[in-house]
Structure 1
Amino acid sequence: MSKTSFLRKVNTNKDLFYVAHEGIEKNFPIHSHNKHQLYYLEGGAAYFNTPRKSFFVPANHFLWIPAGLEHNIIFRTKAKMVHNIYIPTILKTSNPSLETNAGIYPVTNLLAEMINYTLSWKGEIGNDDQEKFQFLITLNNVIASAANLPLPIALPTTNNESLSEIVKYIHRNIDQPLSLDYIAEKFSYSTRTLSRLFQNNLNTSFLQYVKLTRIIKAMELLLQTDLSISEITFKCGYNNLSSFSYVFHKTVNISPADFRKKTKSK
């Protein structure tokens, strides 16, 4: 099935569930759905992109995408399975924030089991199949319960050409010191102008942007490599392990060691 026909099928009947489990990854262009979407990349990692932000989706986390939000997903590592369950908006949940807000949340054991239970299901599911339909309604409620503490990592994006070049440089050189003075001089800005450029276009400070980029890089390395945490510390531009561990824990609400253990445990 082509990407266009798949998206058309998802959107055909807005009051029905749509279930799709894939053994291969598909990179779609920016698009949206008339349904909410549960997305679970089993055993892999990806970037979830909207017109304004980019989110890192690590292993053993699910992505919630509200109906109508333009997005695409870019894979960073090979996955065991890609799970997608599209949920009609007529179903309300006990978590109203899910109606409008995207988020990345840890997959609970119960949610993982319920998703895997649907592994043989495919396509539209309505109330003419009461057993499956009621199961998916229950799954929707379980999602609402699980979506309590989102992963607080999102990088703002920009269409400003000058700032885009600076952002690319930061990503390519994240193991370097990257001070505001150094970047301003390298790209022929005053520090004040560069600070304003970040704040006005990304709604964040230069230092905050660099910090989040370092933490996302650390999450990727913790997930995708067997490098020691000390090695990852230096590859992400930190001078010592204690400083890196403190910033990581404060940002992600979990230590680097526990994050690695948790994301590789299922």
Structure 2
Amino acid sequence: MSLLSSLADIDKSPKSVFVMHERSEKHFPFHTHLKGQLSYVEGGLAYLGVLDRTYVIPALHYFWVPPGVGHILKLGHSGTVLRSIFYYSTDDKKNEFYVHTGIYPVNDLLLQMIRYTAGWERHIPPADNRFGFLKAIKDILPSISEKVVPVVLPFTEDEEMTRIINYMGKNLHEQHTLHSIARQFNMSSRSLSRTFQRTVQMSFLQYLKAMRMAKAFELIVKDRMSLSEIAYAVGYNSLSAFSNTFHQYTDFRPSDFARRPV
């Protein structure tokens, strides 16, 4: 049974852990549940929409969504496997980690533990001998989830800003500046800067960098271009400049990311 058809079942047993592994390319509409969601994105790319923000989740990363937080989830690649574990919330107050949405790079320990649950489906009650293993996964999350991946694209319904963002996205290879974009839309640089802060609460440069990293993750996952080609496709004049920015976001180089087994 797919995650989409199982959404109504997740909260039926509040004290259990709900496990679901699915390979698909799907859009999960806005939904919420009373359990916290741990999901590992394997072999592809995913987008998580929470409130007015879209989080970009590359392969080899996992995310945590606290209980009661409504969200939209889109898997962007047919090879993506979404491995999800939904947890009871009775002990969430013991650590701040469980009340914040976050995206984190997976380490070998968590990766192997999540994969070990691949044959476990649906509800795992406390009386089940597998429950302790699942509880251990939840318990270690705060200590291994210190590096947050900040690839976040704020969402806006502002029509003018939407046109600007769409233009930037379609021409990401170009050397955009605040001045060049302002001139393209017959605005002053000061006015455009204020529009970014007002509508997406980010500066022009912050938003442009996030767009470039999101697109870079997508291109690396598709594995159809060299890293140099990807660097130029997302607006960098050199592979080293691209690599340095990528490292700031992920703590590893794009070459390491491309080689890591999934």
TM-score above 0.5, yes or no: yes
Whether the aligned pair in 2 keeps the contact of 1:93 and 1:140 (CA below 8 Å) is no
Show the counterpart of 1:231.
229
Distance in 2, matches of 1:187 and 1:80, equals 38
Deviation of residue 4 (structure 1)?
A: 6.8
Show the counterpart of 1:30.
30
1:169 corresponds to which of 167, 170, 174: 167
Distance in 1, matches of 2:239 and 2:3, equals 44
Q: Which amino acid aligns with 1:198?
A: F
Distance in 2, matches of 1:103 and 1:11, equals 22
Deviates more, 1:82-91 or 1:21-30: 21-30
1:240 corresponds to which of 226, 238, 241: 238
1:193 paired with 2:191, answer yes
Distance in 2, matches of 1:251 and 1:118, equals 29
Whether the aligned pair in 2 keeps the contact of 1:153 and 1:252 (CA below 8 Å) is no
Show the counterpart of 2:12.
12
Distance in 2, matches of 1:244 and 1:44, equals 21
Q: 1:250 to 1:66 in 2, by over 3 A?
A: same
Show the counterpart of 1:142.
140
Show the counterpart of 1:74.
74
Q: 1:189 to 1:58 in 2, by over 3 A?
A: same
Distance in 1, matches of 2:216 and 2:77, equals 15
SS in 1 for 2:130: helix
Distance in 2, matches of 1:61 and 1:90, equals 26
Deviation of residue 157 (structure 1)?
A: 1.4
Q: What is the identity percentage for the equivalent residue pairs of Structure 1 and Structure 2? A: 36
Q: Which amino acid aligns with 2:70?
A: E
Deviations 1:147-177 (A, max 9, x none): 1212122121112121111111111111112
Distance in 2, matches of 1:30 and 1:240, equals 39
Deviation of residue 81 (structure 1)?
A: 2.8
Deviation of residue 6 (structure 1)?
A: 1.9
Structure 1 stretches of 4+ with a deviation exceeding 6 A read none
Whether the aligned pair in 1 keeps the contact of 2:3 and 2:20 (CA below 8 Å) is no
Deviations 1:25-60 (A, max 9, x none): 432111111110011122121111112211211111
What pairs up with 1:99-110 in 2 under 5 angstroms? 99-110=98-109
Deviation of residue 22 (structure 1)?
A: 1.8
Q: TM-score, normalised by structure 2?
A: 0.91
Whether the aligned pair in 1 keeps the contact of 2:231 and 2:238 (CA below 8 Å) is yes
Distance in 2, matches of 1:256 and 1:21, equals 27
Deviation of residue 78 (structure 1)?
A: 2.0
SS in 1 for 2:37: strand
Q: TM-score, normalised by structure 1?
A: 0.90
1:41 paired with 2:41, answer yes
Whether the aligned pair in 1 keeps the contact of 2:45 and 2:80 (CA below 8 Å) is no
Residue ranges of structure 1 left out of the alignment (5+ in a row):
none
Q: 1:248 to 1:114 in 2, by over 3 A?
A: closer
Distance in 2, matches of 1:104 and 1:182, equals 32
Distance in 1, matches of 2:8 and 2:116, equals 25
Whether the aligned pair in 1 keeps the contact of 2:25 and 2:77 (CA below 8 Å) is no
Q: 1:4 to 1:84 in 2, by over 3 A?
A: closer
Q: 1:257 to 1:3 in 2, by over 3 A?
A: closer
Q: 1:14 to 1:191 in 2, by over 3 A?
A: same
What pairs up with 1:112-123 in 2 under 5 angstroms? 112-123=111-122
